[in-house]
Chain A
Amino acid sequence: MNLVFGIALTHVRARARQTLVAVAGVATGVGFSIMMAALLQGSQQDFIRQLVNAMPHITVSDERRKPTPQPSETFFDSAEIHGLTPQARRRGIKNPLATMASLEGWVPGAVAPSVKVQAILRYASRDVGASIVGIEPRRESSVSDLPKQMRQGTLAALYRATNAIILGDRLAEKIGARVGSNITVQTSEGVRVNAQVVGLFHSGVRSVDEGTAYTLVKTGQILAQQTGLVNEIRLRLGDALAAPETAARIERETGYKSVAWQEASEDLLNAFVVRNIIMYTVVGAILLVASFGTYNIISTITHEKARDIAIMKSLGVTERRVRAIFVIEAGFIGFAGALIGFALGYGLCAALGMITIKNPFTDVTRLPIAYSPVHYAMAAAVAIISSLAAGYLPARKAARLHPVDIIRGAT
Chain B
Amino acid sequence: MPLIEARAVTRILPGIVPTTLVHDIDLAVRPNEFLAITGPSGSGKSSLLYLLGLLDLPTSGEVLIRGRATANMPEEERARTRLETLGFVFQFHFLLPEFTVLENVMLPMRALGSLSNDAMRERASALLSSLGLAEHMAKRPDQLSGGQRQRVAVARSLANDPPVILADEPTGSLDSKASEQVFGILRDLVDVYGKTVVAVTHDLALAARMDRRVELRDGTIVADERIRTDASPAG
Cα distance A239–B75 in the bound complex, in angstroms: 62
Counting CB contacts under 8 A, is B92 at the interface? yes
Tell me which residues from 65 to 99 in chain B have a Cβ below 8 Å from any Cβ of chain A. Answer: 75-76, 79-80, 82-83, 88, 90-92, 94-99
B56 partner residues in chain A, CB cutoff 8 A: 402, 404
Q: How many residues of A are counted as interface, with CB atoms below 8 angstroms from the partner's CB atoms? A: 28
Instruction: Determine how close the nearest CB of chain A comes to the CB of B73; give it in whole angstroms.
Output: 12
A3 partner residues in chain B, CB cutoff 8 A: 107, 110-111, 113
Cα distance A14–B110 in the bound complex, in angstroms: 21
With A312-B107, A404-B56, A411-B46 in contact, do A317 and B92 touch (Cβ < 8 Å)? no
Interface contact A411-B82, CB-CB below 8 Å = no
Interface contact B98-A11, CB-CB below 8 Å = yes
CB-based nearest B residue for A317? B111
Contact bitstring A273-313, B, C-beta under 8 A = 1, else 0: 00000000000000000000000000000000001100111
Contact bitstring B88-124, A, C-beta under 8 A = 1, else 0: 1011101111110001000110111100010000000
Instruction: Determine how close the nearest CB of chain B comes to the CB of A321; give it in whole angstroms.
Output: 7
With A312-B107, A407-B50 in contact, do A318 and B98 touch (Cβ < 8 Å)? no
Interface contact B92-A410, CB-CB below 8 Å = yes
Counting CB contacts under 8 A, is B223 at the interface? no
Counting CB contacts under 8 A, is B211 at the interface? no
Cα distance A313–B112 in the bound complex, in angstroms: 12
Contact bitstring A385-409, B, C-beta under 8 A = 1, else 0: 0000000000000000011100110
Cα distance A308–B141 in the bound complex, in angstroms: 13
Tell me which residues from 41 to 70 in chain A have a Cβ below 8 Å from any Cβ of chain B. Answer: none
Contact bitstring B192-223, A, C-beta under 8 A = 1, else 0: 00000000000000000000000000000000
Cα distance A325–B169 in the bound complex, in angstroms: 30
Cα distance A314–B83 in the bound complex, in angstroms: 9
Contact bitstring A8-23, B, C-beta under 8 A = 1, else 0: 0011011000000000
B92 partner residues in chain A, CB cutoff 8 A: 410-411
Q: Which of B46, B50, B80 contacts A316 (CB 8 A)?
A: B80
Counting CB contacts under 8 A, is B138 at the interface? no
Tell me which residues from 1 to 37 in chain A have a Cβ below 8 Å from any Cβ of chain B. Answer: 1, 3, 6-7, 10-11, 13-14
Counting CB contacts under 8 A, is B234 at the interface? no
Main secondary structure of the interface of A (DSSP, over half): helix
Counting CB contacts under 8 A, is A209 at the interface? no
Interface contact B55-A403, CB-CB below 8 Å = yes
A313 partner residues in chain B, CB cutoff 8 A: 79
B50 partner residues in chain A, CB cutoff 8 A: 404, 407-408
CB-based nearest A residue for B153? A311
Interface contact A408-B76, CB-CB below 8 Å = no
Instruction: Determine how close the nearest CB of chain B comes to the CB of A4; give it in whole angstroms.
Output: 9
A151 partner residues in chain B, CB cutoff 8 A: none
Cα distance A411–B202 in the bound complex, in angstroms: 14
Interface contact B46-A318, CB-CB below 8 Å = no
Interface contact A311-B76, CB-CB below 8 Å = no
Tell me which residues from 132 to 177 in chain B have a Cβ below 8 Å from any Cβ of chain A. Answer: 156, 168-169
Cα distance A407–B49 in the bound complex, in angstroms: 12
Cα distance A312–B168 in the bound complex, in angstroms: 16
B168 partner residues in chain A, CB cutoff 8 A: 407, 411
Cα distance A164–B35 in the bound complex, in angstroms: 116
Q: Which of B80, B94, B112 contacts A311 (CB 8 A)?
A: B94
B80 partner residues in chain A, CB cutoff 8 A: 316
A308 partner residues in chain B, CB cutoff 8 A: 96-97
Interface contact B108-A316, CB-CB below 8 Å = yes
Counting CB contacts under 8 A, is A320 at the interface? yes
Interface contact A318-B107, CB-CB below 8 Å = no
Cα distance A311–B93 in the bound complex, in angstroms: 10
Instruction: Determine how close the nearest CB of chain B comes to the CB of A183; give it in whole angstroms.
Output: 88
Instruction: Determine how close the nearest CB of chain A comes to the CB of B13; give it in whole angstroms.
Output: 10
With A407-B55, A411-B46 in contact, do A318 and B75 touch (Cβ < 8 Å)? yes
Interface contact A316-B55, CB-CB below 8 Å = no
A14 partner residues in chain B, CB cutoff 8 A: 98
Counting CB contacts under 8 A, is A84 at the interface? no
Interface contact A307-B94, CB-CB below 8 Å = yes
Interface contact A315-B107, CB-CB below 8 Å = yes
B111 partner residues in chain A, CB cutoff 8 A: 3, 312, 315-318, 321
A251 partner residues in chain B, CB cutoff 8 A: none
Counting CB contacts under 8 A, is A127 at the interface? no
CB-based nearest B residue for A407? B90
Counting CB contacts under 8 A, is A319 at the interface? yes
Interface contact B79-A318, CB-CB below 8 Å = yes
CB-based nearest B residue for A311? B94
B76 partner residues in chain A, CB cutoff 8 A: 318, 320
CB-based nearest A residue for B97? A308
Cα distance A321–B111 in the bound complex, in angstroms: 9
Cα distance A402–B95 in the bound complex, in angstroms: 18
Cα distance A13–B98 in the bound complex, in angstroms: 9
Q: Which of A307, A319, A407 contacts B75 (CB 8 A)?
A: A319
> Which 5 A-B pairs have CB atoms at the shortest separation, nearest pair first?
A316-B83, A3-B110, A316-B82, A10-B98, A311-B94
